[in-house]
Structure 1
Amino acid sequence: MGKSQKKRAMRRHNPMRVPDSHLPKGLDSAAASSSKKEVILPIIQKLESVDGAERHWACVAVSNLIQNDPSTRRLLQGKNVVGALINRLTDSEEEVWIEAAGALRNLCIDGGYDICAEMYNKNILSPLQAFIPKISAALSQFIESPKTAPENARKVVYEFANNVITILWCLSETSNKALNAINQIGLVPFLMAFMACRDKLPLSTVTSAAQCLYVLSDDNRPVIEGIRSNAAYVASLMDVICTNNDTNGKDKVVDDKAVTLAVLVCGILENVSPFPSQSALSTVDLHKDVVLPVIQPVISPVSLPAISDRVRQLSMEQASEPPQIDKLSIKHAPKSDHRSPIEIELLKLENQLRTVLLSLEVLTGICAMLPETETDEADADGETGEDEGGYLSLHRLRVSWLDEDGADLDDASDEEMVVEDGFSGERPAPSQSTRILPSLVEPLLALVRPTDLSFPPAAEQSPHPPTTSALGGIHVCALECLNNIFLSLSASPHPELSADTQSGQKLWDEMWTSLNLVGTNIGRGQERKKDVWEIAIGVLWGIGNIWKGSLAPVEDQVNVLIQYCNSASDPILRVKCLGTLECLAQHPDSIDGNRAIANYLLSVLPTTTEPSSWGTEPLIQAVSALIDIFSDEDKPYDVNFRQGHFENRLSECVEGVRKTVRAIDRRKERELKVRGEEVRDNLVAFIKYRRRLKLNA
């Protein structure tokens, strides 16, 4: 059962604001679904006009047309709008390259990785790099002599800096090539200057700089060392947190952007920790004393249903208003910063959701700090040693049917049976983080439950796609946090928690209530549903392990798990399903439920004539599950083992299991090989042990 820890190979953040997976591929389909296709060609032509006013108008028009409109964005892409706008970054007219940067920034946010990759391939970094010293010089002048430039001029520079920084942020998550190229620019001093001078600069621009730093410091050694080794940088970041805490403590009205900034700084500090021993932060519990006091007030009071209802109401009001861009003309050029009161409120609600999502991203990493991984040595890339299978890090209590010398227990007494918990030596004490994890469960469960806007029907478009995108991200990220929390709790002994069976049942029921609202029908544009289910199975497995034996198998839930397991193509997802079923099968009084699950697990096994078609990991999990379920012959459900002659069925699969384990390449899958050999040996010893009992059906 794997953690949802961040890995460099995985892109943590998806900058696409309005996903377009619900649209059929191809420009023809985009043209059919766009209401603005007639203006595409005039805009592209005016981007190359000899008249600077026309070029300026075209850049602004691009920004306006793509808002919440993936069809029109695709049509513009098909006409090489990216290349045309990049050319405008070196325009002779200042207002043109300023608006071109704004249009490219909006394309990054609304278009995601594909557009960002296109920008990188078309060498957008060259003009962007040239802007950095110009922006620094202008801002330095404003800070040192604020009266030397009019307010409008300062506003233009602030917005331009915001756009350039946002493009760099999005590009840095496009590919390793783009990230390495951005590393060569050396952005840390430039971005940290915004933190140091934040009281003299617009909060929105400072927040963009923090967002870029947060992304760049994620598993990126040059930036991590650049921040960690500079005491002034760390002090500036900590000052942001202290200012946020002081403001909250005085019950003042807090700007939403200030909260977002504090959350981003928490993420940066998490990314660059641990700090050198000479640092003042080296003795601070970063999770408990710095990060969680900022994040918990963000995720706890938010009501997703209330926000969803308000967004739906505003969207209906907006739909009844006439469109703002019916007739495009140079004389009446649209303003890129003009928004109606409805648009402003929608954006505010969206930003609130994005801040919650950001908080959950940071929290996911905290919840992944398992007690047993604290002493693990980092691998060559600086990552913790999680095994290849993605689930072996869960150290479940399991019976070993071999004694310490590897001898068969046929010759040993029952009292000599060893119970191994997967740890060697002393079990490490639970960390501070683990002790506070249960307090996070309730607000996270509230963020898992979907709203009406989370997963609109496949045949309908969301009334406000950015909200739907943000809500889906929140549900997924909240589940990742829960997955890590229950994995953490499963890895350490918590007798008082396991004894609270009422809480376990409540958590189990809450999860299934949310999953029933999500549903299993996944149509075009509803890929997030699949993500929810895949992570939720891991959460169910974690809950099942903590309260194993107290959760009764409900027939409908068991059937859903079986159907999901049968349809899954990912072997690790199948392992999670089988592990969850194993936990349910150990409810003492559910004899019928135990029988149904046990027969399903037996169907995974090979026979004397047919190998298993389930793959290596699921087969090993199924064998291990059957041994664990029937390790205690005194359980009421053991009658199923005897009446079903499971001992004979297990005997038939021994040779098939041996062949499967023998085929595992120890060099490539060392952990899986070790686990496979353990399960194989336990299977042989378990069969002999059951035969020796000579229990009658």
Structure 2
Amino acid sequence: MGKSQKKKQMRRHNPMRVPDSHLPKGLAGASASSSKSEAILPIIQKMESVDSAERKWACVAVSNLIQNDPATRRLLQGKNVVGALITRLSDSEEEVVVEAAGALRNLCIDGGYDICGEMYNKNILSPLKSFVPKISTTLSQFLENPQDAPENAQKLVYEFAENVITIFWCLSETSNKALTTINEIGLVPFLVSFLAARDKLPLTTVTSAAQCLYVLSDDNFAAVGEIRANAAYTACLLSIGKPDDAPTVTNGKGKEVSNERQTALRVLCCGILKNVSPIPPPSIAATIDLDKDVILPTLQPVLASAYLHETSNNVQHLIAQEDTIPALDKLSIKNTPKSDHKSPIELQLELIEVKLRTVQLSLEILTSICATLPDPEPVQENASADDGAEDDGMDDEEDEDMMEEELQPEGSGSTSTFLPTLVAPLLPLIHPTTLSFPPLTGGPSPHPPTTSVLSAIHICAMECLNNIFFSLATPKKGQSSNVSLKSDVDELQHPGQERRREMWQLAVGVLWGIGIVWKGVLVPTDAQVQLLIQFCETSDDQAVKVKCIGTLECLAQHPQSVDTNRVISTYLLTHLPSPTRSTPLLVEPCLQALSALIDIYSDESLPYDINFRQSGKRERELRRRGEEVRDNLVAFVEYRRALKL
């Protein structure tokens, strides 16, 4: 089991803000689940109206109707709302263009992969590309002569810029084809210019630029190279991300903004710096241990202040006060709604989501840091000087390890001292709240955005713990883990439970890491063992089965737990070849089970070895065969190395 790395093919960690997997497939199922189906046709019709007020109304109505409503979003998508809105990006009226971009932005954020893919296929990048120089020119004029630009005009441009940038961000995050095209546009200077002028622009617009830059710099050589090559870019990022130097950000009018939004910007800049590390001279960032002096001091307070259960209760209290379904009379043309109009409760929920997304982002960055830390080196036993003299070159593993070490950012090795201190604040983040997943009984969450981000936090925390435990060097005698997970495994197969299932799969990996670190110290319980066995049996993924078997192997090695050892070893035998076996043998679980049995009974002095001595000839034969395979493998490796081909 290795460390969790960033996903490259499925770039976005949280692909859908408002998931719809709980809905029946097809438009008929979506129509039956939506309370606003009658409003769909008028909206689509007015999108093509000769009256610009009606066209604007239709764009705004889309944003209002899809809010936390995946069924209505799916219905609109079935009526080609994406194509209609892309057409409106070329509208003759500026306000229609702005509202169309806002509706597309909201569709991107809520809908994820499918909608972003549809937008790319319908050539949304063509009009978006043309907007970039226009926005740059207009913003430069505003910044040079702010007194010449009316406040309403500035607000319109800032809102439009935020919408366009957010669409770029979502497309980059969900489509590798779109990312390739966006690379050709060359957005990096455009985005950095917003960060450089952050004291004169609305923070939401600046944060959108930082978010887009963070996504573009994630495993994307084109953007990474461009940022690294410009010392002014990295200096700007450092000035925002460094705790001591981070200025107070205003909303563009001289007023201070919320701590949540300022913190989100700082964390994003830390993420960008991590993505582009190591940073070469002459940038000032090249002289600093970014992990130790900038990134970790910024992330740790964010994680320490994340009280998920209190947040979940607060969200439930807020949504209980407000009717989340907008009345249709609010969508009348006479009382044209604004797509950015939010009630006080909606604003509170938005700030809560901003804070939770910042926690999620912090965990993603921390996972990346822990993934780059060196793994503990195994103790070399019975090594002699003669062994090294026989081979005057490095073997493949040594060569690979050295290459990885050379690529580490300066000072990253010192980060390993932080690992034990990170476990305590991470453990509360893996415990689900009442809003963490959709109800097991079916249907959507009471507040899908909160559920989406909470489940993402749990999964990110699991990945981070996975990396930490696999980076810790030696068992800490006398310590124990307080990780507990309870659920009905069978319920994980229900529609809409994908995130819950993903968390379980990651949790087993974390438990395996804990078991390795504290092998022989953890005291297993019958409930833990049976839960792992049940999860192993119900999973169709061989990798998950391997994690379960590895965790059971560690639990079986508690010296005094003789009965538990017998239960585990008996179960492990079911994964091995047998004349009575009715199902095909799974190779990876079989190998892991064989390796586990050999490791468990490799010391005959332990109390639980009595289970091996009393188990009969089959286990003795198993051990003989396993040792024979091991000896053959060692001899084969030595033979191939001696050839030096």
TM-score in terms of structure 2 length: 0.89
Name 2:70's counterpart in structure 1: 70
For 2:422 and 2:40, the matched residues in 1 are separated by 49
Corresponding residue number in structure 2 for 1:598:
569
Separation of aligned partners in 2, 1:680 and 1:193: 58
> Helix, strand or coil: the match of 2:452?
helix
1:231-242 aligned at under 5 Å gives the runs 231-242=231-242
What's the RMSD between the two structures over aligned residues? Answer: 3.0
The residue that corresponds to 1:436 in the other structure is 418
Partner of 1:145: 145
Report if aligned partners of 1:558, 1:581 keep a CA contact under 8 Å in 2: yes
**Residue number in structure 2 paired with 1:188:** 188
Once residues 425 and 94 of structure 1 are traced to their aligned partners in structure 2, the CA distance between those partners, rounded to angstroms, is 55
Q: Partner residue of 2:101?
A: 101
Q: CA deviation at 1:309?
A: 0.8
Q: Quick check: 1:608–1:652 contact (8 Å CA) kept in 2?
A: no
Distance 1:572 1:594, change over 3 A: same
Q: Find the aligned partners of 1:629 and 1:680 in 2 and give their Cα distance.
A: 25
- Segment of structure 1 superposing worse, 172-181 or 157-166: 172-181
Give the Å deviation of 1:619: 1.7
Say whether residues 1:38 and 2:38 are aligned partners.
yes
- After TM superposition, give the deviation of residue 615 of structure 1 in Å: 2.5
Return the letter of the residue paired with 2:131: F
Work out whether residues 620 and 679 of structure 1, in 8 Å CA contact, stay in contact via their aligned partners in 2: no
Partner of 1:342: 345
Aligned pairs for 1:278-357 within 5 A: 278-319=282-323, 323-326=326-329, 328-357=331-360
Deviation at 1:352, TM superposition (A): 1.2
CA deviation string 1:73-111 (max 9, x = no partner): 111001000000000000111111111001100110111
1:85 maps to 2:85: yes
Q: Distance in 1 between matches of 2:583 and 2:442?
A: 39
* Gap runs ≥5 in structure 2: 249-255, 388-396, 406-410, 638-645
**Residues 1:498 and 2:468 are matched in the alignment:** no
* Distance change in 2, residues 1:593/1:533 (3 Å): same
1:307-331 C-alpha deviation (Å, 9 max, x unpaired): 1111111111113x88444353221
Residue equivalent to 1:587: 558
1:196 deviates by 1.1
Instruction: Report what 1:463 is aligned to.
Output: 446
C-alpha contact 1:304 1:447 (8 A) present in aligned 2: yes
C-alpha distance in 2 between matches for 1:23 and 1:326: 27
**Which amino acid in the other structure matches residue 551 of structure 1?**
L
AA partner of residue 485 (structure 1): I
How many Å apart are 1:517 and its aligned residue? 5.8
2:483 corresponds in structure 1 to 511
Q: What's the offset of the Cα at 1:622?
A: 1.3
For residues 676 and 10 of structure 1, the distance between their equivalents in structure 2, rounded to whole angstroms, comes to 40
1:651 to 597, 600, 621: 621
Residue in 2 aligned with 1:376?
none
Look up the match of 1:547: 518
The separation in 2 between residues aligned to 1:565 and 1:676, in whole angstroms, is 30
Deviations 1:622-674 (A, max 9, x none): 1111111111111111111111025x33526977999xx9xxxxxxxxxxxx9
CA contact (8 A) 2:16 2:113 kept: yes
1:370 equivalenced with 2:342 (yes/no): no
- What CA deviation, in whole Å up to 9, does each residue of 1:565-605 have, x standing for no partner? 12222222111111111111111111111111111122212
Percent of aligned positions that are identical: 59
- Please tell me whether the aligned partners of residues 553 and 597 of structure 2 are also in contact (alpha carbons under 8 angstroms): yes
Report how far residue 498 of structure 1 moved: 1.5
Q: Is the 8 A contact 1:371 1:430 kept in 2?
A: no
The answer to whether structure 1 residue 677 and structure 2 residue 636 are counterparts is no
Shift, 1:172, TM fit: 0.8
Structure 2 letter corresponding to 1:511: V
Give the drift of 1:553. Answer: 2.3
Return the letter of the residue paired with 1:212: C
Q: 1:110 to 1:676 in 2, by over 3 A?
A: farther
Q: Is the 8 A contact 1:453 1:468 kept in 2?
A: yes
Compute the displacement of 1:542 (Å): 0.8
Partner of 2:53: 53
Distance 1:97 1:125 in 2: 15
How far 1:435 sits from its partner (Å)?
A: 1.2
Shift of 1:351: 1.4
Contact 1:458 1:525 in 2 (8 A): no
Counterpart CA distance in 1 for 2:505 and 2:415 is 25
Asked whether the 8 Å contact 2:34–2:72 carries over to 1, the reply is yes
Which deviates the most, 270-279 or 149-158?
A: 270-279
Alpha-carbon spacing, 1:676–1:315, altered in 2? closer, same or farther (3 Å): farther
Which residue is equivalent to 2:277?
273
Tell me what 2:219 maps to.
219
- Alpha-carbon distance in 2 for matches of 1:650, 1:233: 65
Question: Does the Cα contact within 8 Å between 1:357 and 1:470 map onto a contact in 2?
Answer: yes
Q: Distance in 1 between matches of 2:129 and 2:415?
A: 41
* Match of residue 484 from structure 1: 467
2:618 paired with 1:636: no
Query: Cα 1:614–1:369, aligned 2, differ >3 Å: closer, same or farther?
Result: farther
Is the contact made by 1:398 and 1:628 (CA closer than 8 Å) also made in structure 2? no
Q: TM-score, normalised by structure 1?
A: 0.82
Paired AA for residue 236 in structure 2: S
Shift of 1:247: 5.6
Shift of 1:284: 2.0
Q: Does 1:263 align with 2:245?
A: no
**Alpha-carbon distance in 2 for matches of 1:322, 1:232:** 47
For residue 174 of structure 2, what is the aligned residue in structure 1?
174
Name 1:576's counterpart in structure 2: 547
What code does the residue aligned with 1:300 have?
A
CA contact (8 A) 2:243 2:298 kept: no
User: Secondary structure at 2:321's aligned position in 1?
Assistant: helix
* Structure-2 separation of matches of 1:398 and 1:597: 30
8 Å contact 1:606–1:656 — kept in the other structure?
no
- Taking structure 1 as reference, are residues 676 and 26 closer, same or farther at Cα in structure 2, changes over 3 Å only? farther
Q: Residue 74 of structure 2: SS of its match in structure 1?
A: helix
Q: Could you tell me how far apart the structure 1 residues matched to 2:329 and 2:571 are?
A: 61
In the alignment, is the contact (CA less than 8 A) between 1:360 and 1:474 conserved in 2?
A: yes
Deviation at 1:443, TM superposition (A): 1.1
- 1:433 Cα deviation from its structure 2 partner: 1.6
Give the letter for the 1:47 counterpart: M
Distance 2:631 2:270 in 1: 38
The residue type paired with residue 308 of structure 1 is S
Aligned residue type for 1:82: V
Mapped to 2, the partners of 1:196 and 1:597 lie a distance apart of 59
Please say which of residues 154-163 and 592-601 is displaced more in the overlay. Answer: 592-601
Is contact 1:6-1:12 (8 Å) kept?
no
Equivalence for 1:409? none
Q: Is the 8 A contact 1:458 1:526 kept in 2?
A: no
1:399: Cα distance to partner? 9.7
Per the alignment, residue 643 of structure 2 pairs with: none
